[in-house]
Amino acid sequence: MSKTPKPVPTFATEAEERVFWEANDSTEHVDWSKAERARLPNLKPSSTAISLRLPNALLERIKVAANKRDIPYQSLIKAWLSEKIDASRN
């Protein structure tokens, strides 16, 4: 970067910061040539446990499908839900 970066403003809330970065190019405010890779080994994505009642036959079919893919059935359910939501956006 050949010019001095603009200062990053101070934000009152995370929402305010999100709006700013959605509308502004970070290369005007950060010299990415000096960036270093960050390691956050203890960072875990947030999640919420829910209770979902399924018919036994459906749950067994899901478990069989998960077993064929060698993944936990909860992970398969999450993947299918995510795929369905993504497909419905198109």
Q: What is the pLDDT of residues 20-71, one digit of tens each?
A: 999 999 999 998 888 999 888 888 888 889 999 999 999 999 999 999 999 9
d(CA 57, CA 25): 51
CA distances from 80 to 2, 15, 65, 76 (A): 47, 30, 11, 6
Domain spans of the chain? 1-37, 51-90
Q: What tokens appear for 27 in the block?
A: 């290369």
Confidence of residue 1 (pLDDT cuts 50, 70, 90): very low
Cα separation, 26 vs 24, whole angstroms: 6
pTM above 0.75, yes or no: no
What's the pLDDT at 8? 92
